[in-house]
Amino acid sequence: MDSILVRGNGPLNGEIPIAGAKNACLALMPATLLSEEPLTLTNAPRLSDIRTMTQLLQSLGAEATEMQEGKVLALSSHGADNHIADYEIVRKMRASNLVLGPLLARHGHAVVSLPGGCAIGARPMDLHISALEAMGAEIELKDGYLHAVAKGGLKGAVHELRFASVGATENTVMAATLAKGTTVLKNAAREPEIVDLVKCLRAMGAQIDGEGTSTITIEGVDRLHGATHQVVADRIELGTYMLAPAIAGGAVECIGGRLDLVGAFVEKLDAAGVAVEETARGLKVSRKNGRVNAVDVVTEPFPGFPTDLQAQMMALMCTAEGTSVLEEKIFENRFMHAPELTRMGARIDVQGGTATVHGVERLKGAPVMATDLRASVSLILAAMAAEGETIVSRVYHLDRGYERVEEKLGAIGAHIERIKD
């Protein structure tokens, strides 16, 4: 397995282009299954998760072609005739479950393996299942596969999610576009990735209102047509690279960044003593005055502080002035990076879903191991401000969510390189 070598070397300066959102693209790609006409996605990120979703769609009989070095995805499901999402592909990535709703809506039946992905919590499928069952689907779990049938097609329904799940919202909205009648989804997730999905579905002819709020209304149509859609900027990659100068010093402009994507995160940066300035091309980030201040963080569904930036924020708090408390309310098991940061000299106490971080003057390089996607990049961020060398192993997680991370960070002055096994 590859490793990443980082040498702490002081301030970072320059600019970083922000890629299209992984989590948005992974929901947009299955939308091709809803139509026989082509769907073209531009500003697609070049990631292993995107390649996995491509393989899954191809296994279902869809056409999926990368163009312009992977930045454009040409998708077509006119010949998609397979309704079984196989375990060998689905196990690699939890977002694979997003084919369930589209397959059920278009074909009336689907067999989808239970998904895999990072081991950061249960993330059960019951929210997806209950929503689809409310629309008339019959779903049974057999031998690790969900067997779903909608006799006579899906029908509009009023349903309230027990939790504002992003994936369950996406699956339900896609399925409802071809259902008979009106579907009202309450306690829907409000994330920008859902707003982006609705924007694409609307371009395909769907009738949807209320995206970005907790109630989404979908009026089913007979068919959807093709479209071209630009994937929204990745707010998690944006937040990650905004933390680079906050941790290591300097000033970095994140090209394509938008304040509306990271509002709650920017509020915490401001309280910590990090300046964020809107520019003509994005967001420019720098420290206000030397060492940052400790701030408390509670992860919440959008528009709250994102769980996918908690590990990176912890890396910043490791060298902050004072003590910070980070409370994880979205996923259990999401403090696995804390022991690795402790190996670098951080002082962190984890009790259940709460981590207390006592800031230290300086971290020190050490061999550490990535445990999941966001944990891997948090260790890289911490290493850029640490004394000496840090080797981050098991970085295959990293390639699922960050494209060309060594190139992007190297361009702003980080001493970072990949070590091939």
Helix, strand or coil, per DSSP, at residue 245 = helix
Q: Is 86 annotated as a binding residue?
A: no
Q: Is 23 annotated as a binding residue?
A: yes
Residues 6 or more apart in contact with residue 393 via CB below 8 angstroms: 1, 3, 367, 368, 369, 370
Q: How far apart are CA 189 and CA 394, in angstroms?
A: 32
Q: Is 125 annotated as a binding residue?
A: yes
Q: Is 308 annotated as a binding residue?
A: yes
Residue 118: active-site member: yes
Alpha helices in 142-234 (DSSP H): 166-176, 192-203
Q: Which residues pair with 20 in a beta bridge?
A: 233
Buried b (16+ CB within 10 A) or exposed e, 153-177: bbbbbebebeebbbbbbbbbbbbbb
From residue 120, alpha-carbon distances to 61, 64, 227, 271 in Å are 31, 30, 35, 28
Q: Is 339 annotated as a binding residue?
A: no
Do residues 70 and 97 make contact, with C-beta atoms less than 8 angstroms apart?
A: no
Pairing outcome for strands 347-351 and 354-358: antiparallel
Q: How far apart are CA 207 and CA 286, in angstroms?
A: 43
Of 25, 118, 200, 318, which residue is the catalytic one?
118
Other beta carbons less than 10 A from residue 407's beta carbon: 11
Q: Is 291 annotated as a binding residue?
A: no
Q: Is 143 annotated as a binding residue?
A: no
- Residues of the binding site: 22-23, 94, 123-127, 308, 330
Binding residues for UDP-N-acetyl-alpha-D-glucosamine: 94, 123-127, 308, 330
Q: Which residues are annotated as a binding site for phosphoenolpyruvate?
A: 22-23
The residues carrying an active-site annotation are: 118
